[in-house]
Every structure is written in C-alpha cells, then in structure tokens.
Structure 1
Amino acid sequence: MNDLLRDTLHERADASAPPPLDLDGIVAAGNHRITRRRALGVLGGAVAAAAVTIGTATVVRPRDTQPQPAKPAPFTQRQATYALGDTIHYGDETISVAPHEVTAFVQTDAGFVFLNADNAIHVVDRSGVRALGKSAWRLTADVRGSLVGWVETFSDHGESVVYDVAAHRELVRTPIGNKIPKYASVAVGPQIVALDGNLAYFGTLDGLYRWDVTTDNGERIAKVGPTAVRTVAAGLFVYQQPLDRFGGTSLAIAKTVSPDEPARFTGELAFLSPEGKHLVTEPEDAKPGIQPLWADLLMYDVPTGGLKRAPRTYVSTYFGQWLDDKTFTAVGERTTSRAADLLLVDAATGTVQVAAPSFSEVAFRTRAPRTAPFALPTGRPIIDRG
C-alpha cells in the first residue's frame, strides 16, 4: 500500500465531510440512457489492424430479424443491486429465483440473467424464472439494453453467443476463432469481452473480433489472446501491455488496440464507465496473498490518469456496476469485522455512501470453488483463489 497516498487521502477525507451523492440525479441519469455503446492461454503476438472479415455465411445459426418489442423495458434503471442466495435485491425490490442460488448475474433492461450452482443460464423478471438450457462460466452485458453474451464450450470448439432478453432469441451464435487445437494446454478460454451498443467484442482463441449484432457480420481486429483486452465502452478499449504477456497488470486505454500505446493504469479486472471517463480496476482473486498496487480496488480519471483508492474503512472492496458515468456500486468488507456493506461510490471524488449496511459477510466457502455468499452484477462470481 502506498502509505503517502493513503495518508493524503485520509487527511483529505478528515478535512471536510464528503458531500452526499445526488441519488435523484442517479435515478434521472438511469432514465436517460446513452445510445452508443477468458480453456486456452497460449496465444499472443503482435496486433493486426483489421485482418479477417466474416459474414453471415460463417454463422452457425442465422439471425431472426423480427423487431424488438415496443413496450418500455422494465429494468432500464440501474440501482444498488446485489444477489444473496436465491434472491436478487434491486433497490428496494426483492426478486426470488428459488430454488436456484445465484452465483453470478448481470442486469439488462428486460430482466436479470444469472448462473446457478451448475452454471446453467436463467433469466428472471417480474413474471418469474425461465431456463435457457445453456451453461457458461461467465456472462457479459452492457450498461443499458437487453443484450447478454456468453461462450459455450464444446469438446473441440467454443461458440460466442449474443442473446436478446426482451425478444427471447439469439442474435448471434458463431464458432469463429474458437476451434480448440488437439493436445493444447488449458489455461484460459474464450470470452465475450464486452457489449457496447450494437457491437459485441469476442475474445477468441484466434484474436479479438468485433461483431455487429444488427447485421450479424464480424471481423478480427487484433491478433491477441482472449483475455488481453479487458473491456470496451464508448468505443474505447482497455487492454494490457505488453499484449503478448499472460496475466499482465499494466493497462492502456485507446480507440484501437496498439502495442505502442503507453500503459497508464494498473489492475487485472477493468470496468470502464459508460462514457469512458472513469476506470475502476481490481484483482481477479478476491483475497490476493500479496499486496502490490493492483491488489486494491483503484479508481482512475481516464483523461488525466489520476488515481484514488477505496476508503480505509474497508479492508477489501469489490466492484458492482456503473449507475451512471461517475457513480458505481461496490461492496466493502469492514476492517473491524467481515461485515459487507453495499456502497455507492463517486469515482470523481472518491466519496462513499452506504446503501445497504451489513447485508452479508465476506466469508468464502471452504471447498473449491471458494465463492462469496453474495454476487454482484458483473457476470462473474467473487472467488478466493488462495
């Protein structure tokens, strides 16, 4: 821990009471959504600008071009949200998924998509729970819209999928880039890197593909490993430097994936705000045994590279989701106990407001996978890998 930075922030916090968050503004911002918007790790290499163009003839199943429902989507507002056991807590509302237990989930405008203990994919809204008959290791969604993405892995290949929750149908299913070589060592697999408006970004075994879900066409835009690019928002890529390293923690942000872009940020998991103004990073391991800089939840101002850390009140902090372009939710583990608080955090100022105090404990299962008892809408479980 950088003691100087910690003490400086502590002194600043003591000097003046943090201003309260504008909760009404958050709700209003949620109602005016913006309209733009990882088994194998042996890959790497140099970046290719835009090499291979793929059309609908290569897709396993063609798209259904029926229009989406016209009625307003019921979950457009992003609120303080978490899942505990068989219940999703959405603001003041509770949504049961019993008899399932939520291990990972995301929010879309049309409902929540979650994984249960068997990694089976389900959708839940106010009308109930429905199974999709699929399974995945993680889910990906945008900060708005009704799309969700995942990768299904078979014996010799993986398939990248984009599903419309509102229309109850798949828009994209393609094996492009995900043929699994025989006798290859297993480390990390393909993933949906991001959904950014009508564009999907597939981290495949053959590189990063950009896919237009409206035309069902895609192209490879970078010859990199499936986890080299961490996320995309507002047309900005967050990716590791150097690109050919496995598990790098030095990150760059740019409009293209380039080996020449300087790394100005640090972290493993990356969460870019909807307009790309703020970046939050955190470690993949919920309880890393060493304490370098990247082992904390970090908040960056993207244009300046300015850095803030989570408040000293909490020994561990876990990102939840963006509510607007500067406010996000997180869970903080108190330093004096294992109690978990759900927080609203202002990325610009670092101020924090407790939305749900002591809603759970930060305690992990004793058997693998050592998951937390709660889940946050990032699409992946919170795991202690130690």
Structure 2
Amino acid sequence: MNDDPSQPAGQSMNFTERRPTYAEGDVIHFGSESLQLGDDELTTFVQTDAGFVYVTADGTVKVADGRRTTKIGTGDTTQRLTVDDAGTLVGWVDSSAKRPEFVVYDVAARREIVRTAEGTANAPEDKAPRVSAIDDGFAYFSTGTTIYRWHLATGTGTVIDSQAGPDKLHSVDAGRFTWEVHRASDDMSQIAVGTDLRRPPAKVYPGWDTNVSPDARYLMTDMADEVRLFDLRTGNQLPLKFPGYILIVPTQWQGDAAFYAVGFKKSTDERLDLLRCSTSTLTCQVVSAGFAPTPVDLPEFQLPVGFVLD
C-alpha cells in the first residue's frame, strides 16, 4: 500500500531500542523524541524494530517510522495488535472479509507474510478471533474455540488446542506458553506456564493477567491489583518494591533486565508516573513523572500494549 502523501517527512529513529513510550492524541512519545501522526488519532499501538504500528477508530492499520505514516491494512475492528518482543512482525485480524482473516505483516519488508481464514468459518460471534502471539518464527491464532500454531516460513498451521476460548492463551515467549487454568476447588483462574497447552503444567501461579520477559525468565501476574514478580527458573516470588504506588502495570520489557510500567498512586487526583523497574535490584525508578492524567482519564492516553486501555 502507498505511503500517505498528506503526512510530512521526518527523521528516522532507532526502533530497536525500548524507551519510555506512550501516545497522546495524534502524538507518539518515544523517549525524548516524538512522532506526529497528522490527522490520525490512534486507538491502540505497538512497537516493532521497524516502527510503530497503530490502529485508528475505523480499524485502519498504519505504520509510523518517523519519516511518514503508511497504511498497511484494514478491518481491525477489535483494535488489537500483536508483536514479538523484538523483530519486525505484527499481527491482527481483518474482519472486513466475509470470513475473518489472520494477518501477519513484516513492517521492514512492507509486505504480508500470512493471510489466512483457517478455522474461522464457524467462529462464535461472541468470541472474536485474534492473533494471540508471535514468537520465534511462529504465530498463534485463536479462532475463538481452537488455537493454531502457524509456521511462518512454510505457511502451514497445526492445531495445538482444539478446546480453547480466545482468552486462554495469554502469551508465548521463547517457546514457553502462558495460559489460563481454573482451580478445581473453586474454579479460580490461575496462570500456567509450560510448553504444551494440552498437558498439566508443572507449575501454576496466582494471577489473572500476565506479562512475561522476552527470554521467559520472569513472570509478572496481577490479581485484583496485587502485582507479583516470579523467577521462572525457580518458581519463587521476588520481592519487587514500588513504594508510593498502589499498583504498577507493565508496558514493555528491556530484555530480561528491566521493564517499563505505569505507577498508580493512592489518590485518583494525582497524575500517573512512568517507571523503569529492574529485575536485579527489584526496585522501580521514575523516568517520566506525571506523564498521564488520573486513572479516570487514562483512556485519553494509550500505551504500546496492543489493545485499547479502558
């Protein structure tokens, strides 16, 4: 697809770096630099090593690389994007076709490498298909009832779970799956980590939401705003400290050494801080104080997480 001629040219940026990042209206803030999106106001966005990918309100998918914005797709009505921890691939579901189609796009090469409607013919209306993960040469597609592992080099797919809702698979990192299981005693949701969705996991962790480091060394979980950090080599919880904040929400990892997170304070009148948390010191430092409005107004801002904040 052609570049949008209405967007002014700018300077190229080093998108392999993970910096303090957030979007406000039609501007993406990337460390000390910013990208102007012209008339576009994004609803969600992610970072690849070749630029930011974002979605507008009508489901149009675009790339901003610091020089121009480029339309690369349409039909992302769920406004959800998926990327690997590094690299230039991004995935979404194009719902504009008769059957929803899974799309994986190479931002650096400016071309689609996968477009398939595999398994979506009978997708339940209340369980929208999604690209659940991209990891080490594979993409993971959820049809709403089934999860496929798609080999990107050969263009072939394999069913890895034939009884899985769209929310079951949380992530895939360095070949390790993170997924939702339910405790038999009370049906409480928990987080499993392993290499096969169909086998009982060796370890289960308390939590509802998850965030895993790129090499699958660390797992963060959140359950009812109680954040925990685990070392996946030992299974032990680590004493992560963030004094002055009642909650932190991770946004991006800097390798396995650190991650960025939003810090929420006790008072809803106080603006939010952007933090950098170290997995070695187990402490968090402010990198952008008061960068976002109060939690009530947070939807006016977006973070590079691939889904709309609400």
Tell me if TM exceeds 0.5: yes
Q: Answer yes or no: is 1:149 the counterpart of 2:79.
A: no
Q: 1:114 is matched by which residue type in structure 2? A: Y
Correspondence for 2:215: 275
Correspondence for 2:278: 346
Q: 2:85 is matched by which residue type in structure 1? A: V
Matches within 5 A, 1:134-283: 134-136=74-76, 137-154=79-96, 157-180=99-122, 184=124, 186-223=125-162, 224-242=164-182, 249-282=189-222
Distance, in Å, in 1 between the alignment partners of 2:234 and 2:45 is 32
Distance, in Å, in 1 between the alignment partners of 2:116 and 2:38 is 32
* Offset of residue 312 of structure 1: 4.1
TM-score, normalised via structure 2 length = 0.86
Correspondence for 1:335: 266
Q: Answer yes or no: is 1:295 the counterpart of 2:225.
A: yes
Distance, in Å, in 1 between the alignment partners of 2:167 and 2:203 is 16
* Offset of residue 345 of structure 1: 1.0
Counterparts in 2 of 1:221 and 1:73: CA distance versus 1, 3 Å: farther
Which range moved further: 76-85 or 294-303?
294-303
Q: Answer yes or no: is 1:80 the counterpart of 2:12.
A: no
Distance, in Å, in 2 between the alignment partners of 1:198 and 1:276 is 16
3-state SS of 1:314 partner? coil
CA-based RMSD of the aligned residues comes to 2.5
Distance, in Å, in 2 between the alignment partners of 1:90 and 1:297 is 26
Correspondence for 1:381: 308
Counterparts in 2 of 1:176 and 1:374: CA distance versus 1, 3 Å: same
Q: Kindly provide the CA deviation profile for residues 198-251 of structure 1, in whole angstroms up to 9, marking residues without a partner as x.
A: 11111223411111112211111112222211100000000111499xx96301
Correspondence for 1:324: 255
How many pairs align? 292
Counterparts in 2 of 1:79 and 1:254: CA distance versus 1, 3 Å: same
Correspondence for 2:8: none
3-state SS of 1:264 partner? strand
Distance, in Å, in 2 between the alignment partners of 1:165 and 1:115 is 14
* Offset of residue 322 of structure 1: 0.8
Counterparts in 2 of 1:266 and 1:153: CA distance versus 1, 3 Å: farther
3-state SS of 2:289 partner? strand
Structure 1 portions without partners, runs of 5+:
1-71, 283-292, 366-370
Distance, in Å, in 1 between the alignment partners of 2:287 and 2:133 is 27
Larger radius of gyration: 1
Which range moved further: 100-109 or 341-350?
341-350
Q: Kindly provide the CA deviation profile for residues 2-48 of structure 1, in whole angstroms up to 9, marking residues without a partner as x.
A: xxxxxxxxxxxxxxxxxxxxxxxxxxxxxxxxxxxxxxxxxxxxxxx
Counterparts in 2 of 1:326 and 1:74: CA distance versus 1, 3 Å: closer
Could you say which structure has the higher strand fraction? Answer: 2
Which range moved further: 137-146 or 255-264?
255-264
Could you say which structure has the higher helix fraction? Answer: 1
The answer to whether the 8 Å contact 1:363/1:373 transfers is no
